[in-house]
């Protein structure tokens, strides 16, 4: 009987499932979306039950579409975003909606933690405090929902919650432990001092296991819900960014990834930990490598905002993909530089390199000649400028950058991909397969012994790649544009903060 592996990516807006054979050839891909709720300004929440139900449905869809028999699935692995946690009571029931990583409600708690404990937190976790992290989110819950907070008995990030529902195991890996900002990176253990800051018992935290270890087998309930066989092995798994990186072959020091996802980021693989106050530092899933991330809050979500704010959403009955094509088509009718219109995409504050949740976005340089297509072009360029801002930060601490990958949903756009290439000014490699679900499938193969390691898995298929080269004329134009982009951001920074203070919303 042939053998197959399942990789799941429980992402920011959908669960993607992929079935591959033992030669890493893709047999089937399916996705099932779920909502993010915005109950008030600055809030973003998801229901952990949606993660599980979407994962189950995506697996069933793949099995049915591919005709692969459940008995031939020999391993499963799950990836997902860091920071967002499910809160469970003593019975394992969900206590409240999850505070999403993009949520800004813990801004005040973040600022207080930074003022009072910032140096100690950075020394312990190798990362500075930000509202995206679990630590300030927990402090917000403790201070604003104390009765509920006292009932918390378990916390699990996205992929760990889905795996908990699959297997009953209460575990995580080092990558996602670091992402909670409750982990002592130097001592390789949960931090008593950080737990004391939020009044959380260590028993509420999962056991930490290697990502490529087996966590357990599918329970009968999970088998019924997914269509898989009870006992099917499930790996511990890891975070979506690092699994995605390993999946495309970014497993050597000097490999660097530009990702145009829901948010965008620049990820550097290094031999040694590259600690920097402007970056997020994790362990790579490939030991003993490290994984540094500079991250902007901008990305595909910015296109979604633009489409809705400028009335494109109402004319797009086909959903998000149609809206993205509309934005791209509009932008193509403008010109490089958007006829002098500049956009700063700080719609949810900003992470790298500013780490300022109060930062605000803007359009600058507006004159009568500007039309909708120029705004569309400026939005695409603004996100790309923000990505270059992250890349420039990486170059300050990278020993070298030998290869640059471009991945993510935004990279499906030929226009946006070339625009990023021109703005960054470096050749970019676009892998033919660039999915955390694919990396998860490899991880499942390693956990079940199909592969000896990541290099062994990458030796199986021949994956198509595309090489982008910057257009020299555009590169020179965008070099000047980037200088202006940064200068204007710095000049306007105190003023947009003042504008923000005029609002009484939670974002402040």
According to the model, what pLDDT value does residue 348 have?
86
Which residues touch 114 (CB under 8 Å, ≥6 apart)? Answer: 121, 128, 129
Helices 320-332/414-424 angle, 10° precision: 60
pLDDT 10s digits, 406-460: 999 899 999 999 999 999 999 999 998 888 999 999 999 999 999 998 887 776 5
**Active-site residue, from 50, 184, 240, 422:** 240
Which residues touch 431 (CB under 8 Å, ≥6 apart)? Answer: 248, 249, 405, 407, 463, 465
Residue 84 lies in a domain: yes
Which residues touch 323 (CB under 8 Å, ≥6 apart)? Answer: 303, 304, 307, 312, 313, 316
**Nearest Cα residue to 346 out of 304, 302, 307:** 302
Residue 81 lies in a domain: yes
Residue 331 lies in a domain: no
Residue 60 lies in a domain: yes
According to the model, what pLDDT value does residue 464 have?
72
According to the model, what pLDDT value does residue 2 have?
85
CATH number, residue 143: 3.30.420.40
* Residue 260 CB neighbours (<10 A): 26
pLDDT 10s digits, 197-234: 999 999 999 999 999 999 999 999 999 999 999 999 99
With a cut of 50, which residues of the chain have pLDDT below it?
316-317, 506-508
According to the model, what pLDDT value does residue 325 have?
86
Q: Is 49 helix (H, G, I), strand (E, B) or coil?
A: helix
Instruction: Count, in order, helices (H) and strands (E) of the chain.
Output: 16, 24
Separation of CA 131 from chain center:
15
According to the model, what pLDDT value does residue 91 have?
96
Q: How many domains does the chain have?
A: 1
Residue 54 lies in a domain: yes
Which residues touch 93 (CB under 8 Å, ≥6 apart)? Answer: none
According to the model, what pLDDT value does residue 433 have?
86
d(CA 159, CA 248) in angstroms, rounded, equals 20
Report the DSSP pairing between strands 4-10 and 73-80. Answer: parallel
d(CA 282, CA 350) in angstroms, rounded, equals 20
Residue 186 lies in a domain: yes
**Nearest Cα residue to 62 out of 37, 95, 97, 26:** 26
- Cα Rg of the chain (Å, integer): 22
140 neighbors 196 (Cβ within 8 angstroms): no
pLDDT 10s digits, 375-414: 999 999 999 999 999 999 999 999 999 999 999 989 999 9
According to the model, what pLDDT value does residue 319 have?
63
User: Quick check: is 240 catalytic?
Assistant: yes
d(CA 470, CA 223) in angstroms, rounded, equals 49
According to the model, what pLDDT value does residue 12 have?
84
Residue 309: exposed, middle, or buried by beta-carbon count in 10 A (0-12, 13-18, 19+)?
exposed
Alpha helix ranges (H) inside 151-219: 158-167, 174-179, 192-198
Q: What is the 3-state secondary structure (H, E, C) of 406-470?
A: EECHHHHCHHHHHHHHHHHCCCEEEECCCCHHHHHHHHHHHHCCCCCCHHHHHCCCCCCEEEECC
331 neighbors 376 (Cβ within 8 angstroms): yes
Q: Domain range for residue 213?
A: 4-241
What tokens appear for 314 in the block?
A: 């109402």
Residue 337 lies in a domain: no
Separation of CA 324 from chain center:
19
Residue 416 lies in a domain: no
Residue keyed to tokens 């409750």: 182
The three-point CA angle 380-280-35 to 5° equals 55
pTM: predicted TM-score of the whole model, two decimal places: 0.90
According to the model, what pLDDT value does residue 145 have?
98
What tokens appear for 176 in the block?
A: 């996602």
């Amino acid at each position: 009987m042939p053998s197959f592996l399942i990789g799941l990516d429980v992402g920011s807006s959908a669960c993607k499932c992929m079935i591959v054979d033992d030669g890493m050839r893709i047999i089937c891909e399916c996705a099932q979306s779920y909502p993010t709720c915005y109950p008030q300004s600055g809030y973003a929440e998801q229901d952990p039950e949606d993660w599980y139900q979407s994962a189950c449905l995506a697996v069933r869809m793949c099995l049915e579409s591919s005709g692969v028999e459940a008995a031939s699935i020999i391993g499963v692995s799950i990836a997902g975003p860091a920071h967002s946690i499910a809160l469970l009571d003593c019975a394992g029931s969900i206590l409240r909606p999850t505070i999403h990583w993009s949520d800004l409600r813990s801004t005040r708690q973040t600022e207080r933690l930074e003022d009072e404990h910032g140096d100690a937190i950075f020394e312990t976790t190798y990362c500075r405090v930000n509202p995206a992290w679990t630590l300030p989110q927990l402090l917000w819950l403790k201070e604003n929902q104390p009765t509920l907070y006292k009932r918390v008995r378990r916390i699990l990030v996205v992929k760990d919650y889905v795996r908990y529902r699959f297997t009953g195991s209460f575990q995580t890996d080092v990558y996602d432990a670091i992402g909670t900002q409750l982990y002592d990176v130097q001592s390789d253990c949960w931090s008593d001092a950080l737990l004391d800051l939020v009044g959380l018992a260590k028993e509420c935290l999962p056991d930490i296991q290697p990502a490529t270890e087996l966590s357990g087998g599918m329970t009968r309930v999970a088998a019924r819900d997914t269509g898989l066989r009870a006992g099917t092995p499930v790996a511990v798994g890891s975070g979506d960014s690092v699994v995605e990186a390993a999946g495309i072959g970014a497993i050597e020091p000097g490999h660097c990834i530009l990702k145009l996802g829901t948010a965008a980021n620049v990820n550097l693989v290094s031999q040694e930990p590259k600690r920097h106050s402007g970056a997020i530092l994790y362990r790579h899933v490939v030991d003993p490598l490290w994984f540094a991330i500079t991250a902007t809050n901008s990305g595909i979500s910015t296109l979604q905002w633009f489409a809705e704010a400028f009335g494109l959403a109402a004319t797009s009955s086909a959903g998000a993909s149609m809206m993205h094509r509309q934005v791209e088509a509009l932008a193509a009718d403008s010109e490089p530089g958007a006829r002098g219109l500049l956009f700063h995409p700080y719609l949810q504050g900003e992470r790298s390199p500013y780490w300022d949740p109060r930062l605000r976005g803007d359009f600058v340089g507006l004159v009568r000649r500007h039309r909708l297509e120029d705004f569309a072009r400026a939005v695409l360029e603004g996100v790309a400028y923000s990505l270059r801002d992250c890349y420039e930060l990486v170059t300050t601490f990278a020993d070298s950058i030998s290869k640059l990958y471009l991945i993510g949903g935004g990279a499906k756009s030929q226009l946006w991909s070339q625009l990023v290439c021109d703005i960054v000014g470096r050749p970019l490699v676009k892998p033919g397969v660039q999915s955390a679900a694919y990396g998860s499938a490899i991880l499942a193969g390693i956990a079940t012994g199909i592969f000896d390691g990541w290099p062994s898995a990458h030796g199986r298929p021949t994956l198509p790649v595309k090489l982008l080269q910057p257009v020299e004329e555009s590169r020179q134009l965008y070099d000047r544009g980037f200088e202006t982009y940064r200068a204007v951001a710095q000049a306007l920074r105190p003023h947009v903060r003042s504008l923000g203070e005029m609002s009484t919303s939670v974002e402040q």
